[in-house]
Amino acid sequence: MRLFRGIPAQADTPIALTIGNFDGVHAGHQAMVARLTAAARSLGLPAAVMTFEPHPREFFAPADAPARLTSLRDKIARLTELGVDRVYVCRFDRNFAAQSPEIFIEQGLVRGLGVRWLLVGDDFRFGAGRAGDVARLQRDGPPLGMTVEAMHTVVVDGVRASSTAVRQALRQGDLGAAAALLGRPYSITGRIVGGDRIGRELGFPTANVRMRFERPPLDGIFAVLVHGIGTTPLVGAASLGVRPTVTDAGRPTLEVFLLDFDGDVYGRAVRVDFLHRLRGEEKYDTLAALRAQIALDVQATRAFFAAPPVQPANPSVSLPS
C-alpha cells in the first residue's frame, strides 16, 4: 500500500477511488471497499481511498466532535487489509473546505488524482457550503473521463451501518451490537508503557496501553482479549477510564490485568479486543475497597471466558444492490 499526504498537482496514474472518513472501517465501509476493489481490478486500476485528517467535524466544531473509533494508523492498516492499494490523506482545513465543487472535481479528482472510476455514498456532499452532491458528480464527471457510482446504505440487523451507530452501541455498553456493525470486536491498539504501579501495589499488576487518541468512545471495566504478546491471545480484565479513585487528572487510561500471565510486556505493541462490559467506572473511598472490587472483576472475567461461548446469530446484513 502507498500512502500519500494530500492531493498531488498531477496524477502519476489513473485510479479507482472512493472518498470518506472511514472511522471504524465498519460494515458499510467494508462493502464500499469491496465494491471499489472489484471495480478497480476489472478496470486494471489501483484501488484508492481518500480520507481526511482531522475529521471535518473536528475542524468545524472541535468541542462537539465525536470520539474517534480508530486512529489514523489503525484506519490505514485496516484499509490495507481490505485490499486498498493507495490511501490519500487530505488535511481538512479552511482552504480545503472552501473549494468550490468545480475546483474539487476538475483540479482535485481529475487532474491531481487521475480518477477514472469514483464510488461515493448516495448522501455524499462536498465543496464550499456542501454545494456538491452525487448528481453533480454524475453530471460533470463523465465528460471529464470519470465514471461515478453511488452506493446505498448497508443495514445490519435493521440498523444503518455508520460510525455514529457504532459509537452509540459502545456508549450503551452493547459490545455485541458494535461488533455486528464493525464485523469484528471493537478494539484499541497501542504500545505498553510504564505506569504509576498502583495496580502492582493492589496485587493486580496491569499493562498500561498508550492509546493514540484522548477521547475513547467507551469506558468502564471489560473482559478483553489481548493480541501481540504471545502466540495466542491473552485473557484480561481491562479498565478504561479516568481512574477516579487514584487520580484527579481526568485523562482516560487503558489498563489491562492479564490473567495467569507473568512476563515482561513493556514496549510491546498490542491490540485489545473488548468482548464484554462488566460494569461502569466507579470511585471508591479507599484503596482496600478498590482492591476488593478488582478481585470481583477478575472473578467475573474468568466466569465470562469459562462459560460455553454463545454462538451469536449471524447478523442480518442488507447490502446495496
Environment class of residue 87 by beta-carbon count within 10 Å: exposed (0-12), middle (13-18) or buried (19+)? buried
Q: Percentage of the chain with pLDDT > 70?
A: 93
Which residues, other chains included, contact 184 with Cβ-Cβ below 8 Å and sequence gap of 6+?
none
Pairing of strands 317-318, 155-156: antiparallel
Tell me: pLDDT of 312 over 70: no
Tell me: pLDDT of 255 over 90: yes
CB 36 within 8 A of CB 119: yes
Which residues, other chains included, contact 151 with Cβ-Cβ below 8 Å and sequence gap of 6+?
31, 32, 35, 119, 120, 121, 122, 320
> In the block, which residue shows the cell 494508523?
73
Cis, bond preceding 46 (omega within 30 deg of 0): no
> In the block, which residue shows the cell 485523562?
251
Mean pLDDT of the chain, nearest integer:
90
What are 16-64's pLDDT values in tens digits?
A: 999 999 999 999 999 999 999 999 999 999 999 999 987 777 777 777 7
pLDDT bucket at 244, cuts 50 / 70 / 90: low
What are 142-195's pLDDT values in tens digits?
A: 999 999 999 998 999 899 999 999 999 999 999 999 999 999 999 999 999 887
Residues 253-269 have a mean pLDDT of 91
pLDDT score, position 61: 73
Distance, C-alpha 251 to centroid of its chain: 20
Tell me: pLDDT of 320 over 80: no
Tell me: pLDDT of 15 over 90: yes
**What is the spatial distance between Cα 308 and Cα 31, in angstroms, rounded to a whole number?**
32
Tell me: pLDDT of 308 over 70: no
Tell me: pLDDT of 311 over 60: no
Buried b (16+ CB within 10 A) or exposed e, 111-144: bbbbbbbbbbbeebebbeeeebbbebbbebbeee
Helix axes 175-182, 27-43, angle to 10 degrees: 10
pLDDT score, position 212: 83
pLDDT bucket at 94, cuts 50 / 70 / 90: confident
**What is the spatial distance between Cα 28 and Cα 288, in angstroms, rounded to a whole number?**
46
Tell me which amino acid residue 52 is: F
Question: What kind and span of H or E run contains 279?
Answer: strand 269-279
pLDDT score, position 149: 96
The structure's pTM equals: 0.89
pLDDT score, position 96: 86
Q: Which domains does the chain have, with CATH numbers?
A: 2-156 (3.40.50.620), 185-306 (2.40.30.30)
